[in-house]
Amino acid sequence: MARKTKRKKKTKRKLARPQLPMQRQLNLRDEETHFDLRPIFERLNQRYFRGRLRGYRVVWGRRRKHRPRDHFVFGTIQEEDRVIRINWALNRPFVPLWFLQYVLYHEMLHSVVPDEVLSPGRRRVHTQEFNRREREFPSYRRARRWEEENLSRFLR
Ligand SMILES: [Zn+2]
Nearest alpha-carbon partner for 78 in 15, 14, 136, 3:
3
Taking residue 109's Cβ as centre, other Cβ atoms within 10 Å add up to 23
Q: What is the number of structural domains in the chain?
A: 1
Residue 6, domain member (yes or no): no
* 9 located within any domain: no
Query: Which tens digits make up the pLDDT trace of 22-62?
Result: 544 444 454 467 999 999 999 999 999 999 999 999 999 98
Give this prediction's pTM.
Answer: 0.78
Strands 75-78 and 83-86: antiparallel
Domain annotation covers residue 68:
yes
Ligand 1 centroid vs 125 CA: distance in angstroms?
7
Domain housing 106? 23-154
Angstrom CA distances, 118 to 6, 68, 122, 129, 132, stand at 20, 30, 5, 15, 19
Please indicate, yes or no, if residue 104 is contained in any of the structural domains: yes
- CA–centroid distance, 50 to ligand 1, in Å, is 20
pLDDT band at 2 (very low <50, low <70, confident <90, very high): low
**CA 93 to ligand 1 center in whole angstroms:** 24
> Quick one: pLDDT band at residue 13, thresholds 50, 70, 90?
very low
E strand map for 49-143? 57-60, 75-78, 83-86, 116-119, 122-124
Spell out the residues 6+ positions from residue 142 whose beta carbon is closer than 8 angstroms to its own. Answer: 98
CATH of the domain at 101: 3.30.2010.10
CA of residue 4 to ligand 1 center, whole Å: 9
Q: How far is CA 77 from the centre of its chain?
A: 7
Q: Give the model confidence (pLDDT) of 102-155 as tens digits.
A: 999 999 999 999 999 999 999 999 999 999 999 999 999 999 999 999 999 999
